[in-house]
Amino acid sequence: MSTWLQPIRLAGRVGYLIVSCMLVALVFVQVFHAGFAVLVDAGNWTAHRNLGNLFSLPVFAMGILSLIGWMPVRFFLMSLLLFGLYVMQYIFLYAMPQSGAPALTALHPVNALVIGFTGYTAVRGAWHLVAEAWPAEAKARRGALGLAAAACAVLAVSVGLRTGTWAFAGDNGGSGVSLAASTESSVPAPYLAMQNPFGDGAGPGPAAAAAGEQIAQQRCIVCHAPEYKGKQLGAVRSADLTASAHNRSAQFLMWAISEGGQGGMPAWKNGLTEEQRWQLVTFIKSLKQ
């Protein structure tokens, strides 16, 4: 191996070690977010989802670093496997509820364990590979590397814990108002003045309802359950949207979806366009009890 390549390869390997440490740390944070959402505050599902969407970054980075580090092929395969497991997380969460076997949705947290274990295997392998390059006498170097990896893991934890407040999904932070306790007279004037451009069933209604259903399957069933009848989220219960279909005006629904509510109903006014929110309203209105 030509000598100028050596430091580059070592850097790739050290990078792989550090990024895989961060990945494992993030798995722990992700489990914490889920636990917090189930046991303390359902609003934390937003944090869990935001952080989940970020997981592709360390996984891709590991794949590239394994090539830069000219690491044995198993390290590349591990990042490929992690990517596959990551995609499975979405499939378990979003496709299984509509499948013939909705119970398989529960494999989502089980798969998370597999991801954590695979990440740990990558950390161990990379550690040995880097340590091999440094003879046992170089204790200080190893110590420094261990500390750097640990520090990066801690950094990942704190970044991971903050993702709930990041606005890149645009739909954090419900209004804090109890929607369940609200009535039509609670709807603010600007929303009262709005009209559903898709009507309530006539005209382009069915197409809009179908578009709304697609959005709802991606964004809403996590909390409102696949049948939209609502479910218990820690201390609060999400609304039964099949009841809202009859009990609430289109303006009320538009307000609730846009501004969010207590106990974790997110505000979607930045995350979804006005047209998409009306599509959701039209879809909810089409739900039969």
- Per rule CB under 6 A, is residue 216 in the interface with ligand HEC? yes
d(CA 282, CA 210) in angstroms, rounded, equals: 9
For the segment 37-96, give every residue that binds ligand HEC (CB under 6 A): 42, 45-46
Residue 88: CB partners within 8 Å, gap ≥ 6? 107, 111
> Is residue 273 near ligand HEC by the rule CB under 6 A?
no
- Of positions 62, 127, 261, 267, contacts ligand HEC by CB under 6 A: 261
Q: Does 244 bind ligand HEC (CB under 6 A)?
A: yes
Distances (CA, A) of 170 to 46, 179, 224, 259, 269: 10, 20, 20, 12, 8
Within positions 121 to 150, which residues make up the interface with ligand HEC, using CB under 6 A? none
- CA–CA separation, 244 and 261 (whole Å): 14
- Judge contact between 262 and 176, C-beta under 8 A: yes
User: 81 or 243, CB closer to ligand HEC?
Assistant: 243
222 near ligand HEC, rule: CB under 6 A: yes
CB of 203: closest distance to ligand HEC in angstroms?
21
Chosen residue from 17, 24, 256, 267 binding ligand HEC by CB under 6 A: 256
What's the closest the beta carbon of residue 102 comes to ligand HEC, in angstroms? 18
Should residue 232 be labelled a site residue for ligand HEC when binding is judged by CB under 6 A? Answer: no
Residue of 33, 48, 108, 219 interacting with ligand HEC (CB under 6 A): 219
Cβ at position 190, least distance to ligand HEC in Å = 17
According to the binding rule CB under 6 A, does residue 223 interact with ligand HEC? yes
Judged by CB under 6 A, how many residues of this single chain contact ligand HEC? Answer: 30
> According to the binding rule CB under 6 A, does residue 220 interact with ligand HEC?
yes
> Which of 20, 66, 238, 282 is the binder for ligand HEC (CB under 6 A)?
238
2: left (phi over 0), alpha (psi -120 to 50) or beta: beta
Buried (b) or exposed (e) across 173-212, using 16+ Cβ within 10 A?
ebbebebeebeeeebeeebeebebebeeeeeebeebbebb
Report if residue 115 touches ligand HEC, rule: CB under 6 A: no
CA–CA dist 21, 19 (Å, integer):
5
Stretch 162-191 residues interacting with ligand HEC (CB under 6 A): 178-180
Query: CB 38 → ligand HEC: shortest distance, Å?
Result: 12
Q: Is 245 in the site for ligand HEC (CB under 6 A)?
A: no
Pick from 109, 110, 127, 111: nearest CA to 21: 127
Site residues, ligand HEC (CB under 6 A):
42, 45-46, 178-180, 216, 219-220, 222-224, 233, 236, 238-239, 241, 244, 248, 253, 256-257, 261-266, 268, 280
